[in-house]
Chain A
Amino acid sequence: GAVVSQHPSWVICKSGTSVKIECRSLDFQATTMFWYRQFPKQSLMLMATSNEGSKATYEQGVEKDKFLINHASLTLSTLTVTSAHPEDSSFYICSARRGRDEQFFGPGTRLTVL
C-alpha cells in the first residue's frame, strides 16, 4: 500500500507554454500533499504544501502565480508551471502525507523547457 504516482514522468515543452503535472495517491486518501523541486545533484526543496479544498501554502521565494497548485480531491493534486522558461527545468517530486508523520513520494517528473 501507500503508492503515489505522478504523470507525466517526463515532459519537454517550449518556452512560454504551460505544463501540468499530476500527483495521485492510489490507495489512500491524502488531505495534504507536498511539491518539491530537485536540481541535479542537489537536495529536495519544498515548494508548497497542498491542502485538499483550500489554497496551497507556498514557501518563501516560490512564485504562486507561476506554480499553480490545485488539490481538488483527496487523491489528486496538480502542479501547473505557467509560462515555463528554461530555468524552470528541473525534477519535480510530489509526496502525499498519510497519518501524522509519514510522507510517500511519487517517482518524480522531469521537466525540460527548451
Chain B
Amino acid sequence: AQSVTQLGSHVSVSEGALVLLRCNYSSSVPPYLFWYVQYPNQGLQLLLKYTSAATLVKGINGFEAEFKKSETSFHLTKPSAHMRDAAEYFCAVSEWYGGATNKLIFGTGTLLAVQP
C-alpha cells in the first residue's frame, strides 16, 4: 500500500523567508503526487501535482515541488513567504486501479504559520 509521511506538523517562518514543507512517500509503482492547501473551515485546493512528466513542478501562488525518486520525496517550497500562505498543507499520493488513478492517500498535514 502507498503511504505519505509529512515531517513536521507545525512549521513557522518569517514573512519573506523560504518555505520548505517536507513530504516522503512510499509506493511500489510510479506515483502521482499532489500538494493541497486548506484554509480554516474550507475544502482543499490543489497547489500542484506530479504525474510523471517534469520532476520540477510549478504550482499556484508561487509554490513548487521537486520529485526525487532516489529520495522518495516531494518537498514543497516557496522562495518568499507571505502572510496569506498561512494554512494547512497536505501531501497526497494516488493509488492506481485498472490504469486510472483512484484513491488519494493523504499525509497528516503541516500547519504553516507566517510571522510578520
Q: Do A and B come from one complex?
A: yes
Count A/B pairs, Cβ under 8 Å. Answer: 52
Tell me how far the C-beta of A25 lies from the nearest C-beta in chain B, rounded to whole angstroms.
13
Question: Is A105 positioned at the interface, with any CB of B under 8 Å from its CB?
Answer: yes
Question: Is A32 positioned at the interface, with any CB of B under 8 Å from its CB?
Answer: yes
In the complex with contacts A101-B49, A105-B44, A105-B45, A43-B107 CB distance below 8 A: yes
A76-114 interface with B by 8 A CB criterion:
91, 93, 95, 97, 100-108, 110
- Chain B residues near A4 (CB-CB < 8 A): 43
- Chain A residues near B102 (CB-CB < 8 A): 32, 49, 97
Which size class do A's interface residues fall under? 20 to 34
Question: Is B57 positioned at the interface, with any CB of A under 8 Å from its CB?
Answer: no
Please report whether the interface of chain A is mostly helix, strand, loop or mixed according to DSSP: strand
In the complex, besides A43-B108, A49-B102, A95-B104, 8 extra interface pairs with C-beta distance below 8 angstroms are A6-B43, A43-B90, A44-B106, A100-B101, A101-B32, A106-B43, A107-B43, A110-B41
Contact residues of B with A, CB < 8 Å?
A: 32, 36, 41-46, 49, 51, 90, 94, 100-109, 111
Sorted nearest first, the 8 A-B pairs with minimum C-beta distance are A105-B43, A101-B101, A105-B44, A107-B43, A43-B106, A43-B108, A44-B106, A108-B43
Contact residues of A with B, CB < 8 Å?
A: 4, 6, 32, 34, 41-46, 49, 91, 93, 95, 97, 100-108, 110
